[in-house]
Structure 1
Amino acid sequence: MVLEELTVRLNDREYTNWLKAGRCLLILKTGLHPFTDHRMRAHHRDLLNQHALLSTPCETSSCKPIGNKLSSPCGVCSEWQKVILRHHRQPGATINWANCFPPHWRTDHWEVAKVIQFRNELMHSCELRVKDDWIRHYWRTLKHFVQQLSDVPQMATVGQQIEDMLTVDLSICVSGVDRVDSAGPLEGCESDFVSQLETSAEKVSQWETELLQEMLQEYLHVAAEEDGDAKAQDPEQLKRLQSFLQANKDLRERFSTELQAINSLEVKERGDGSDKRSR
């Protein structure tokens, strides 16, 4: 039953695109982590050594973005923002300030490193689907990125794994279920890796679970924030994800704990709304 429901989802080409793209992000993350962690730690130390003010704690400990803007940051966080912008290679590009927590810039080098457009577009896709044009652009961008880091030992393997993932056919034949939309979004690669993946339903199910788990954790974290602005980011995203999980029996059972947490948040929000109206 679980494999039949997974097969139905994988017969949706745009859902499969979303799953493949998400898996590629995890492949890239694993391969890059040792290199990027070392470089970001060194960069963070250099920033602190070059700018005395950056060593000072946030003046309020509560500076945070509203939407994708830093609204009235304190003097220290404002200076951090200026320094980050000066080191950004594409000044005109969109910077995802909403993905960071300014008071941590002084102590956490990864907070300074957060500028991730594709990841946000993918993980905040409330329909869990991306079109072929998007994934083609995504693939070209990843290729270019991997080529720029060709001196990093892990990148050759990462590049091949990403190409294999984006060309493999994830549709799974299960007895009694027709195979539909079997063509991958991009033609090309044939390898032992590809043929192995086509028979590994359990592995594909694991990848799907990892991506959905990450989305749920992020949405629940935002929804649980006490600040009203955080909740107002996009309440429909969590509701649509909730509906998707409930509509698939295997996912409904797998994420039963998270669905209970969502229900609890909804009850709390209704209660808060009633309290406000009664005042």
Structure 2
Amino acid sequence: MALPALLARLQCKEYKNWMKAGMCLQMLQSPLQGYIDREMQSFHRQLAGKIKAPRHRKRCQCRAIGKKFEPACPVCAQWKELILSHHNNRKGEIHWGNSDPSLWPTHYWEVAKVYMPHGQAKLKGSKNCDPAALLNLINNCDHFKVSNTRVKEIIKCRNELMHSCNMKVSSSWLSSFGQKMYDLIAEFTHVPDLVKEGDKMQEVLLSNWNVGDLGVYEVDGPVKLQNQNIHTLKGYSEILEKTLSPYEAERLLIEQMIQELYLKIEEQGSVTKEDGDKVSQLKLFLSQNEDLKYDFQEDLVQFDILLKNHDVLQSEGWIHKKHLAAFVVVLSLAILTTTTTKGPPFAALSTLLVSKDFHLLIFQVSVIVEHLLKDLWLFMCPTNNSSLQTSDGNLKSNVYGQLKFKQDGNPNNYAVKVS
């Protein structure tokens, strides 16, 4: 008997479409891995032949961080120049931090990773890369003589698939995706394994995925697949050596969505509202399906942590916004007052607004606020106003103290004394 939970989810046609497209993308992986591995070794030899370096060279200490890399040795400088000369996106974002520049002369895959998206630093070869990384490599490196337009179309489809919070796509979207995939494979007629996978993709797209197609059965004990035990799914690069069942494809797709979300948050250094919404939706989806809830229980714990941190950041952000709003209100009040009030503080404010000297502007607003508070206090307590003023006319009270602003000759530095 087929696994009821998976069958129930596949009753939703849009969800089934989402899974089919994801499965086709996974089918690109294995044939692309072998092809790209061979091509990058050849590409590396070509570059190495153009580098002028001493025979007995010690390994340098050059390191790349994120999207920045400044070579500290002449050899790395040559490698960087050559890598950039073959990069189709040399004026855009390049994730130098993916690779170790000191290994460029000897490790071809360290060069390959410069042409890939963020998150590849720990990967040591093509067998560890998912389809998105491999497609980006082909798109960014001009060593590959294929239509970049067709590659970009599949990358775009892949991103739409992974960023679909409800994990659903329409039948028209799937039909368009199938045509674009067909066009892409037509660019790789020199890769027989990929052409074979193209025929299988057509079968996937046309299949209804009935009970016999799923390859998933209930047995006593842990749920098992035809080829794999469910607990081996995390190492998906090995599983993809054989044809995936829909059950396996579903797990891998969800895992990739989660990993991509983690990488995005890591790169941003924070959880945005969009990220928080996506985490919430993924958490809800996994929690509503007991089989997925069991397989992704560690991620559900991480989701709770992310959402908690997101709530804290939102709270802190709101406090910051309130302070900013208060300042804007005071500034606006001060500006409006300049039209009806005479005196040095208000006249000076108009000049500062024109000159855009914001340090002085902030100081002048503070002076204006002091004057407004003094006038307000004198208005509310007219009988005691003589005891609330000093000889220079400044407001004095037990609450605010006496504020004296002293300029020390530098228009950006002020001393504030509270008595």
1:9–1:15 Cα contact (<8 Å) kept: yes
Partner of 1:259: 300
Q: Structure 2 residue aligned with 1:63, among 66, 70, 74?
A: 66
1:2–1:250 Cα contact (<8 Å) kept: no
Instruction: Name structure 1 gaps, 5 residues minimum.
Output: 65-72, 173-195
Structure-2 separation of matches of 1:139 and 1:148: 15
Structure-1 separation of matches of 2:259 and 2:164: 15
Partner of 1:118: 157
Structure-1 separation of matches of 2:311 and 2:89: 44
Q: Tell me the amino acid that sits aligned with residue 88 of structure 2.
A: L
Q: Which is higher, the Rg of structure 1 or of structure 2?
A: 2
Alpha-carbon offset, residue 143 of structure 1: 1.0
Q: How does 1:1-279 map to 2 (within 5 A)?
A: 3-46=3-46, 61-64=64-67, 83-85=86-88, 97=93, 101-104=95-98, 106=101, 107-113=110-116, 114=133, 115=136, 116-172=155-211, 196-197=212-213, 200=216, 202=225, 203-223=245-265, 225=266, 227-228=268-269, 231-232=271-272, 234-235=274-275, 236-271=277-312
Instruction: Name structure 2 gaps, 5 residues minimum.
Output: 53-59, 72-76, 102-109, 117-132, 137-154, 218-224, 226-244, 324-419
Structure-2 separation of matches of 1:272 and 1:162: 44
2:188–2:195 Cα contact (<8 Å) kept: no
Partner of 1:183: none
Structure-2 separation of matches of 1:58 and 1:138: 42
Structure-2 separation of matches of 1:232 and 1:48: 42
1:11–1:171 Cα contact (<8 Å) kept: no
Q: Tell me the amino acid that sits aligned with residue 101 of structure 1.
A: H
Local SS of the residue matching 2:25:
helix
After superposition, the Cα gap between the structure-2 partners of 1:167 and 1:15, relative to the gap in structure 1 and judged at 3 Å, is: same
Q: Deviations over 1:19-66 (max 9, x none)?
A: 0111111111112210012213433554566588xxx9877x3334xx
Partner of 1:193: none
1:123–1:215 Cα contact (<8 Å) kept: yes
1:170–1:198 Cα contact (<8 Å) kept: yes
How many pairs does the alignment contain?
235
Percent identity over the alignment? Answer: 24
2:272–2:310 Cα contact (<8 Å) kept: no
Local SS of the residue matching 2:168:
coil
Structure-1 separation of matches of 2:198 and 2:267: 41
Alpha-carbon offset, residue 74 of structure 1: 5.5
After superposition, the Cα gap between the structure-2 partners of 1:233 and 1:148, relative to the gap in structure 1 and judged at 3 Å, is: farther
